Amino acid sequence: MENKFITVAYKLYVKQDGKKTLVEEATAERPFQFISGMGMALERFEKEIIDLAKGDNFILTIPSNEAYGEYMPEGVRSVPKDMFNIDGKFDHEHIFEGAIVPLQDNEGHQFFATITKVAPETVTVDLNHPYAGKDLTFEGKITEMRDATTEEMQEMINMMSHEGCDCGCDDCEGHHHHDGCGCGHCH
Residue 105 within any structural domain of the chain? yes
Residue 97 within any structural domain of the chain? yes
Closest by CA position to 114, among listed 124, 59, 82: 124
pLDDT of residue 13: 97
**Residue ranges in the chain modelled with pLDDT below 50:** 164-187
Residue 165 within any structural domain of the chain? no
Residue 118 within any structural domain of the chain? yes
pLDDT of residue 1: 57
- Could you tell me whether strands 57-62 and 136-147 are parallel, antiparallel, or unpaired per DSSP bridges? antiparallel
C-alpha separations of 126 from 40, 88, 105, 186 in Å: 23, 24, 14, 25
The CATH number covering residue 80 comes to: 2.40.10.330
- 137-146 pLDDT, tens per residue? 999 999 999 9
Residue 173 within any structural domain of the chain? no
Indicate left, alpha or beta for 164 from its phi (over 0: left) and psi (-120 to 50: alpha). left
pLDDT of residue 105: 80
Residue 168 within any structural domain of the chain? no
pLDDT of residue 157: 80
pLDDT of residue 145: 95
Whole-angstrom distance between the N-terminal and C-terminal Cα of the chain?
Answer: 21
pTM for the structure as a whole: 0.72
Do both 59 and 29 map to the same domain? yes
Residue 177 within any structural domain of the chain? no
Do both 95 and 141 map to the same domain? no
User: Could you tell me the residue range of the domain that residue 46 belongs to?
Assistant: 4-68+132-160
When divided into structural domains, the chain yields a total of 2
Q: Measured between alpha carbons, how far is 107 from 93 in angstroms, rounded to an integer?
A: 27
Burial class, 43, CB count within 10 angstroms (exposed 0-12 / middle 13-18 / buried 19+) = exposed
Do both 113 and 137 map to the same domain? no
Q: Measured between alpha carbons, how far is 167 from 126 in angstroms, rounded to an integer?
A: 32
The CATH number covering residue 23 comes to: 3.10.50.40
Q: In this structure, are residues 136 and 14 in contact, taking their beta carbons and an 8 Å threshold? A: yes
